[in-house]
Structure 1
Amino acid sequence: MAFRDIRVVGDPVLRTPCDEITAIDGRVRSLVSDLLETVDHDGRAGLAANQIGVSMRAFAWNIEGDLGYVLNPRLVEVSEDAQEGDEGCLSVPGLFYPTRRGRYARVEGTDLDGGSVVVEGEGLMARCLQHECDHLDGRLYLSRLEPAVRKEALWVVRDRF
């Protein structure tokens, strides 16, 4: 296990869709271990593999004391009923903007034994699942902001990063 540095906005790995995991080997087991150790800190809700520089479809979460991971996640359901709220990102540190997300989300994937995994939830868990799947698709939450807010956010990002 290793605590890993977080890649920040501007790093090309954050804008590149991640590769499917085709074999569960030592590298994948080490990745999951690193994701879990790195996300297991106050103020961290989720962490995608590309945020630590690994372009593989995996993420971990730390929601209200529940720590977990999923490999090859696919967002299979998002409610039309929306939640509003400020969202932040470890890869865009210190910035929080109002981001509309589905109130409920469901992800399907696999675990380290190759078994099927379903992760679902409302509120913060739903936001996390959507946010981390976006990361694995090479998308930052800034792209989901309303146009005027996105324009302001990008100016701030240019000044800070």
Structure 2
Amino acid sequence: MPSVFVQGRPVGSYPRLAPEARHGTVRRITEVGAEVLHKPCRDVTEFGPDLAALINDMFLTMYVAEGAGLAANQVGVDLRLFVYDCPDDDGVRHVGHIVNPVLAPLDPTGRRLIEEGEGCLSVPGATMEVPRPDRAVVRGYDKEGAPLLIEGTGYFARCLAHETDHVNGQVYIDRLSRRDRKEALRQATDRREDVYARRAAKERSLTA
């Protein structure tokens, strides 16, 4: 099996960072509580250089924050779009972006829920157990407007579901009990300073 899939297609080799990141600028990551994170995003209707530039910025911002995925509203942009660079449970790397993503409903009889730790760049430093299906299928478009279908299993399926939640105005802690949500916010308060110091150091190393 190939070790890397880019936009859902196998490739022989791929750089450590997606090439888009070389042209990007780091943006501030919005945190839970910001209005843009808690309402459904608008569909992308214009495909062109502005969209490509946003994707470049999102890739670099994701790498600086050491994330596996990043949605546009996490950098304050109210559009249905996310980028990802995420392994699945077999160690296969998946890299790409998807515009106007829609998570396909899965047959409930064949769906297996896995409860594993999940974090979010907009809830810095917090990790909580969240049940997610072990498979995800997302349909959308690439930055040129060509139709796209991305399938994932294991951790990559979790990433696809998590990022699609974002464009629908849902943060992962919205799926938690009131008690667990309170614990996630407490973790973020305790760890935020360390997380931001690490991001600043990473930014210096990637943009020097």
What is the TM-score of this pair, normalised by structure 1? 0.90
The superposition leaves residues 100-121 of structure 1 with CA deviations (integer Å, 9 ceiling, x where unpaired) of 0011001000012211111111
Q: Is the CA contact (8 Å cut-off) linking 2:125 and 2:187 kept in structure 1?
A: no
CA distance in 2, matches of 1:42, 1:16: 23
Are 1:24 and 2:47 matched, yes or no?
A: yes
Equivalent residue runs for 1:77-92 within 5 Å: 77-78=105-106, 80-92=111-123
- In 1: Cα distance, 2:61 partner to 2:44 partner: 20
Corresponding pairs, count: 160
| Contact 2:127–2:184 (CA under 8 A) maintained in structure 1 | no
Cα separation, 1, equivalents of 2:128 and 2:165: 16
Counterpart among 95, 100, 103 of residue 75 in structure 1? 103
Matched, 1:125 2:156: yes
The structure that is strand-richer by fraction is: 1
3-state SS in 2 of match to 1:85: strand
**TM-aligned CA deviation for residue 151 of structure 1:** 4.4
User: Is the 2:84–2:94 Cα contact (8 Å) retained in structure 1?
Assistant: yes
Q: Could you tell me how far apart the structure 1 residues matched to 2:128 and 2:136 are?
A: 20
Question: Deviations along 1:129-151, whole A, 9 cap, x unmatched?
Answer: 11001110111100112454234
Pairwise CA distance, 1:159: 5.5
Paired residue type of 2:59: L
> Deviations 1:27-49 (Å, cap 9, x if unpaired)?
21111111122223573111000
- 2:184 is the alignment partner of 1:153: yes
Measured in 1, the distance between the counterparts of 2:188 and 2:69 equals 24
Structure 2: gaps (5+ residues): 1-23, 88-92, 193-208
SS at match of 2:83: strand
Alignment of 1:34-49 (within 5 A): 34-41=57-64, 43-49=66-72
Q: In structure 2, what is the equivalent of residue 112 of structure 1?
A: 143
